Amino acid sequence: MQLKNNEKYKNYFVNKKYNITTFGCQMNEHDSERISYILEDLGYTKTDDRNDADFILFNTCLVRENAELKLYGQVSSLKKLKEENPEKIIAVSGCMMQTSVAREVIEKKHKEVDIIFGTKNINSLPDLLFKYLETGERVIDVSEDNVKDDYVNYNSKNNFQAYVNIMRGCDNFCSYCIVPQSRGREESRRPSHIIEEIENLVKNGYKEITLLGQNVNSYGNKSDFNVTFPELLEKCAKIEGLQRLRFTTSHPKDLSDDLIRVIKENDNICNYFHLPMQSGSDKVLKDMNRKYNKEQYLEKARKLKEEIPGIAISTDIIVGYPTETEEDFQETLDVCRKVGFDTAFTFKYSPRPKTKAAKLDPIDDKIVQDRFDRLLDTLYPIFNEKNKEYVGKVVEVLLESESKNNKNVLTGRTDTFKLVHVKADKNLIGQIVKVKITDNTSFTISGELVQD
């Protein structure tokens, strides 16, 4: 049913408000930006108060069980609100809805949900809304039709930073990961579309662009155009006026010397590299289907640091994978000490439906928690030492927002992705300023504005 030009609802949304809750990664955040644009194009305005919203959306993540449980709890909390205000529309989208197991939980146990759609059906949201208003019955769209080479509009989180999708999906099939099922197989956007999108953003004053993909390093692999990720990155870096360029996420097996060279040779590509390790054990890495071993990972980290002095490296680590022994865990700690990560995203293993690892017997929760605690005990002093190296230095910081705890303090990021606190007027938000670092913790650095 095509209802996009439905005149009956032409001005229906003008005085209505929407609220979006986003779980998960930057890809989900960017999807929410696209949804926000669609809703505002219809006439909605944004509200941070869920109780005040006429349209409530949860954009979901299925990578970790914790996000899934949070969703069920938050949706359940709206039952009473829906009963008191039947005209409120509640929708659930994203990765969870792309898989039958999670979708069936919402369908059967959460009757308060009116609209369900997947990661590939965002552009159909106006049709789904109109259809629901016409019928009053739940509407579901989780079709697998991908929109290829789409140039999409979206509401960025601010007017100086933006995400740009360069590809969707993943072909790696790590044994613990559900992304290939929820996001589909790899598809790369055409370079010309990506370049055009970034050029328009820069013309509109955006200073920092982050290229997004489940594995950006495999960009172009199955395409009919002959452009690799290092080549695309170099093209993007040459766009006139672009001050900062980031990308995420990279798979270690595909990190090439060409990519390191491009980062080294282009000053506006940030000196920050997210290199997910997951485990330091060769056995566990093989069980995870990661396609690299400990020494190969260490060599790639060594090359990054050798070729790009001062580069910051972050990682992902999973503790308690079903086949992990204490000896395997010690190998992970060994890599942490040898690489000296600037930060890390750490997780306790949680089984995901329809993955190979979900069929394995889990490790006792107490053992997993003990290892997790010891991992953090190892990492935090390393983070502290890495941040301490900044004390006394003058760094450039893109100021992003007011501090949640102190309105007189602004927070921002260095090009190495260090979180910086500095006393400054809020009029400087969105500007790149110089800050002399005077103090640090394991997670932040702080300093004083340097006056030109």
Whether residue 119 is preceded by a cis peptide bond, meaning omega within 30 degrees of 0, is no
Percentage helix, strand, coil for the chain under 3-state DSSP, each rounded to 5: 40, 20, 40
> Residue 268 and residue 128: Cα distance in Å, rounded?
41
In terms of Cα–Cα distance, which of 259, 182, 271, 257 is closest to 220?
A: 259
Give the count of beta carbons closer than 10 Å to the beta carbon of residue 361: 6
The pair of structure tokens assigned to 29 is 């955040």
| CA dihedral of 298, 299, 301, 306, whole degrees rounded to 10 | 140
Query: CA 93 to CA 125: how far, in whole Å?
Result: 10
Q: At what angle do helices 65-76 and 100-109 cross, to 10 degrees?
A: 20
Surface-to-core class of residue 20, CB atoms within 10 Å of its CB (0-12 exposed, 13-18 middle, 19+ buried): buried
CA 364 remoteness from chain centre: 30
Contacts of 425 (CB under 8 A, 6+ apart): none
Contact 155, 27 (CB under 8 A): no
Tokens of 75: 């949706």
CA dist., res. 443 & res. 387, Å (int): 8
> Does the annotation place 270 within a ligand binding site?
no
Q: Which residues contact 419 (CB under 8 A, 6 or more apart)?
A: 411, 412, 413, 443, 444, 445
User: Is 236 annotated among the ligand-binding residues?
Assistant: no
- CB distance 431 to 447 below 8 Å: no
Q: How many residues does the chain have?
A: 452
Q: Which residues are annotated as a binding site?
A: 25, 61, 95, 170, 174, 177
Q: Which residues are annotated as a binding site for [4Fe-4S] cluster?
A: 25, 61, 95, 170, 174, 177
